[in-house]
Structure 1
């Protein structure tokens, strides 16, 4: 058992060593391959001259011995197309590109051995390898893919079909002679499916065709359908908008039959409406009995019953024709002795309408009121101002107005009609003379509403005691007390 385990361990270590060696080789090869700089992909059209670039910018510690360009077709073997050795002239082996391929510089540069291909063809597409022979590292290479482009010719069309029950092709789209193959998609609300196929075309190009299949119905006629072709040579996909063309026999409907055929009714009209693709060529009325009553008049697609009587007890048939077929519809009057009750608005409907009108008028009134309020504020119109009462002739001064009203306070302050009880100077800041309780209802105003009587008279230096207003502020009046005289009076506030 121990010998068997030792052998397994030996095999395991050898396998690990081998894996490490392979990894090291792959890493070195990848690192060395990156030193050859090429373009991953180059695009070209037939007849152009294309340049395939190659460079070895950092050759420190490496001797560049020789460079070879190799062509590898998509389906085929590698072929040397250009070789350069510093000690010899450039060489161009036999290949499909001989005579059209050459080094870009003459003499070639080992550090930048790019090549040119003139009059490129679609068959030149493939892989091009720039390979350096170096010492001591060995061969290093870079790969460029030459992609040949050919702008396709795109087209689309609808197919006129007849409504039926089996899937048919209703539209076709084609992208011819393109390289690489184009991509075709469909945009439509029609209920169908698309099928696409590609096939080789001239000069190794590809033609892609697509068909849209569906079960056509009359309602599909005229539906939008768009073919969208995307190709590498186009800045944006090319779109082909179309409309489906579905032919169908006429569809006939009769208008005017209200099922109210009462005896004695006059001038009842039935109108025959017919649609179809192609447009119906004829529309005619007839009866199942083959006999048209004398009281019936037919004008075009309109059948008019002059008077309803027992002779009208038949079936009227309208037929329309086009190249696809015939469509028909019929109306059979059900005679009545009395007319059907007329349908009108119910009491509930009327009441609901009245309530709706009332609510609507209320909303209009509210909107007008809000608009007026907004307009007054915007124009600077505030609440009405107080008009102070005339001065009291007895004591030579006026009582205090309700100066806590903002309109009154602002008006009198502008007129300098408040005077300090300390200095008899005009008051300019009413807030400094207000004392409000927590609820803002008791106000003590320590200033005069007008200059004291005789203040401006010579020798009169006595400053009367201030008026003190206390109490709950009313909207139209309040009491004012004179502390010197001990009397009181009512001072009215007048709006203007």
Structure 2
């Protein structure tokens, strides 16, 4: 029996669903305030069902129903007294298409609208449309001016006023801050959302960017507000320009007082730890000009800046040093040194060139793979006796000399040896050995023997590293006796000299 009642209920519910599906409406409609909205309704496939009347019922909240429009095929249209009177109308006054239009919609018009048919014999059939009222919020954001400190305070605010549905606010910021948002329902059904960002502001945060992002259904994209934090703080001061080279007499020394503050610095003052400034300095706003460095500026300077929140100061101790080199003559001294070095280098280069050229043009003598240079010495060309027996070549031939002062000249000279003894006869006055008598021959042989001994001593010295063998005069014998080979040799300057020439 219980199962039978269950089956009967399912059948009734199914029939109700089929009947409700014949009333066709839109399930949901969106509208903005002050616009017009159409609510469509149609009874599909009535068949044998007789349509007697259609009504529109507004339900703001669950269980509160209110007729706003009625159509009867005989009695026509009817609009009961309600908040919609004068703003609602049928678009096509008929039972088949009883759609209505609501003009100048308000936020309070949001709710459920039911199109209900009175039929015979089926009874009432209906369809419900939900009207969703949308409102674009009025968005704004601003930074809050705060003072630097350690406590967290509100530094920026972001708001989305009277929006529907409620907006969502997020923040893009660093620095360890936090935010919270609140929502408030307005009387017209809109929602106001507010958000605040809190942090412990520092002077370094002044001017830093912070952004809030507002997202809401009626917006095509999220709206971003970027602002700069406004943090106020007392001045911070630093002094620059001291190079630790304040020597006595310097005239271009300068100190600058740099300040950082919010709000703006009102004034900057210069003093010293002892009080008044030295007479050789001059103040130009935030600059301290030292007209001439002397012992009076060997002190500690103090710069102080003030604004509406307070003051800040900084100090610098200057040390005056003695100048060991006059800076005005330093450039001249350096230039003189460089000039002297350059002149010395040029002189050395010139001397080197001259020496090289002189050596290239100086005549040279080569004999048996050895070279020699001629000075202003005379060279003699002649023959000596080669044996002790008194036979040999004639020693009384002409003697030739060569001098560099007389290039290319080979002349016969007489007794012109500068250091020759006065008792020695000239070569052309010496008699031949064949013309001497017996006494003279013995005297000549004795002199010749002494010369031979000297010659042997010279040859012994030469054999121990003295003159090379090329200087030893070769001897030749023929029917005329012993003679010497002069072995004449051509020179670069066109002259000829003998290898057996002797320096005197």
TM-score by length of 1: 0.52
Rate the CA distance shift 1:134–1:279 in 2: closer, same or farther, 3 A. Answer: same
Aligned residue in 2 for 1:164: 149
Rate the CA distance shift 1:22–1:288 in 2: closer, same or farther, 3 A. Answer: farther
**Pairing 1:148–2:133 present:** yes
| SS state at 2:204 partner | helix
Aligned residue in 2 for 1:56: 43
**Pairing 1:37–2:20 present:** no
Deviations 1:107-148 (A, max 9, x none): x22x32212223433322211112345567665432212233
Deviations 1:191-220 (A, max 9, x none): 533444344556554444443333222222
- Given that residues 248 and 321 in structure 2 are in contact (C-alpha distance below 8 angstroms), is that contact kept between their aligned partners in structure 1? no
Correspondences of 1:96-495 after superposition (within 5 Å): 96-106=83-93, 108-109=94-95, 111-133=96-118, 139-189=124-174, 191-201=176-186, 203-256=188-241, 269-290=254-275, 292=277, 298-303=283-288, 307=293, 312=298, 314-332=299-317
Aligned residue in 2 for 1:70: 57
How far did 1:183 drift?
A: 4.2
Aligned residue in 1 for 2:370: none
| SS state at 2:58 partner | strand
Instruction: Give, in whole Å, the separation in 2 of the partners of 1:296 and 1:188.
Output: 48
How far did 1:52 drift?
A: 0.6
Instruction: Give, in whole Å, the separation in 2 of the partners of 1:154 and 1:112.
Output: 42
- Given that residues 297 and 320 in structure 2 are in contact (C-alpha distance below 8 angstroms), is that contact kept between their aligned partners in structure 1? no
Aligned residue in 2 for 1:411: none
Instruction: Give, in whole Å, the separation in 2 of the partners of 1:337 and 1:189.
Output: 54
| SS state at 2:150 partner | coil
Q: Which structure has the larger Rg? A: 2
Deviations 1:364-389 (A, max 9, x none): xxxxxxxxxxxxxxxxxxxxxxxxxx
Rate the CA distance shift 1:77–1:202 in 2: closer, same or farther, 3 A. Answer: closer
- Given that residues 293 and 320 in structure 2 are in contact (C-alpha distance below 8 angstroms), is that contact kept between their aligned partners in structure 1? no
| SS state at 1:123 partner | helix
- Given that residues 263 and 309 in structure 1 are in contact (C-alpha distance below 8 angstroms), is that contact kept between their aligned partners in structure 2? no
How far did 1:70 drift?
A: 1.8
Q: Which runs of 5+ in 2 are unaligned?
A: 325-504
TM-score by length of 2: 0.52
Query: Please, which moves more after superposition, 171-180 or 302-311?
Result: 302-311
Aligned mate of 1:81, from 48, 61, 68: 68
Rate the CA distance shift 1:211–1:19 in 2: closer, same or farther, 3 A. Answer: farther
How far did 1:233 drift?
A: 4.8
- Given that residues 27 and 130 in structure 2 are in contact (C-alpha distance below 8 angstroms), is that contact kept between their aligned partners in structure 1? yes
| SS state at 1:96 partner | coil
Deviations 1:303-358 (A, max 9, x none): 4676586973x54332111112111223346899999xxxxxxxxxxxxxxxxxxx
Q: Which runs of 5+ in 1 are unaligned?
A: 1-12, 340-496
